[in-house]
A = this chain, B = another copy of it.
Amino acid sequence: MKSSPAFHNHHLSSLDADHLYHLGLHSRMKLRKIFGDTRFVCMGGSPHRAAAFAKLVADELDIRFPGGYIRPFGKTERFVLFKIGPVISASHGMGMPSTLILLHELTKLLDYAGCDDPVYLRIGTSGGIGVEAGTVVVSSGALNGELEPWFESVELGQRRRYRTTLDKELTDLLLPPTTDIPVTSGLTMGTDDFYEGQGRMDGALVPGYTEEEKIAFLQKAYNSGVRNIEMESTAIAAFCNRAGIRAGIVCTALLNRLEGDQIESTPDELREYSGRAARIGLRFIRKSLGT
C-alpha cells in the first residue's frame, strides 16, 4: 500500500487491523476504493453543518446521489463523515480534544486510502473581535489563549509545544478578490473553553475577572492581529504542520465580542452566517478543481 511519508506512522504496520474506533471504520475495509480520490477534507463542528455542506457540494459540483440522500460512512455516534466526489465533509465536535480524535482517525483513513496531498479546511463559526457579526474571517495563523503561536500537548506527563502557523499560499487562495460577502483575514485565537476561556462574563460561575479586564484583554488580542476566537484552530494548525498537510480555517463571526458575550442572532441569521463560510470554502474548492 502506497503511503505518504509526511503523515505515515510506521507503528501502524504492526497492527493486523487498525480500528478507527470513533469513526466506526477499520483499515481492512475497501478504503482506497471509497476515499482514494479525496482532495479536500472539510470539517465543521456539528453533524448538521457537515450534512449541509455535503449537500451544498453535491449541488454545486452536480454530483447526484440516489434519492438525493447522501449516506454517511461508518458510525454516526461520535462524528459524521460524508464523501461527495473529491470532498469529505465531516463533523469534529466542539474543542481541540474532539477535533484531534477526528484528525488522527481521518488522516489514518486517508493514509490507508493512498491519498497523498489532501487539503484540510475547517469551515465554521466563531466570535469576532472588532469585526461585525456575519463577517467571514480567513485565518492567517492561530494563537493559543495566551496569544502565543503554538499548541501545547501533554504527552506521557510532559508538556510539548507545536507551532501553529498556516500555509500563506493557501490562505491567499482562500481569500476571494471580490465578493458580496464581508470577508477579512486575521489571526484566530483558539481556546479550550467557550465561557471563561474566551473571557465571557455570562457563564454559570462568577468569573475571576471584571468586565473592564475582559475588554482590555480582547483589545490586546485585537492589537495583536486577532480577529476571531474559536475552539479548534491551534490543534488543527499544529496537527497539520506535523503531518505536512496544508490547512485553512474559514469561520464566520457570529458576534463582535467587543460589544457583548451573548449570541442573539435568530436561527435564520445563524444559518445565513454559517453558509457564508461554506460559500468561501466551496469557492476555493471549485477554483482548485477548475470548475
- Residues on A lying within 8 angstroms of B by beta carbon are 7, 9-12, 15, 18-19, 21-22, 45-49, 77-78, 93-98, 100-101, 103-105, 107-108, 111, 144-147, 153-157, 159-160, 191-197, 199, 201-209, 213-214, 217, 220, 231, 239, 242-243, 262-264
Q: A107-B204, A155-B208, A205-B239 are in contact. List 14 more A-B contacts (CB 8 A).
A: A9-B201, A9-B205, A11-B206, A19-B264, A48-B77, A97-B98, A98-B98, A101-B195, A104-B194, A145-B157, A153-B193, A154-B197, A155-B207, A205-B243
The answer to whether B97 touches A204 (Cβ under 8 A) is no
- 24 examples of A-B residue contacts, CB within 8 angstroms: A7-B204, A7-B205, A9-B206, A11-B201, A15-B202, A18-B262, A19-B263, A19-B264, A21-B263, A48-B77, A94-B95, A95-B95, A95-B98, A96-B193, A97-B192, A97-B194, A100-B195, A101-B193, A104-B194, A104-B205, A155-B208, A157-B217, A157-B220, A192-B192
For the complex, what is the distance from the CA of A198 to the CA of B203, rounded to whole Å?
Answer: 29
The answer to whether A195 touches B154 (Cβ under 8 A) is no
Number of copies of this kind of chain in the complex: 2
- Complex contacts, A77 vs chain B, CB 8 Å: 46-49
Given contacts A46-B78, A94-B101, A204-B7, contact A153 B19 (CB under 8 A): no
- Complex contacts, A205 vs chain B, CB 8 Å: 7, 9, 104, 107, 239, 242-243
For the complex, what is the distance from the CA of A214 to the CA of B47, rounded to whole Å?
Answer: 34
The answer to whether A96 touches B192 (Cβ under 8 A) is yes
- Complex contacts, A11 vs chain B, CB 8 Å: 201-202, 206-207
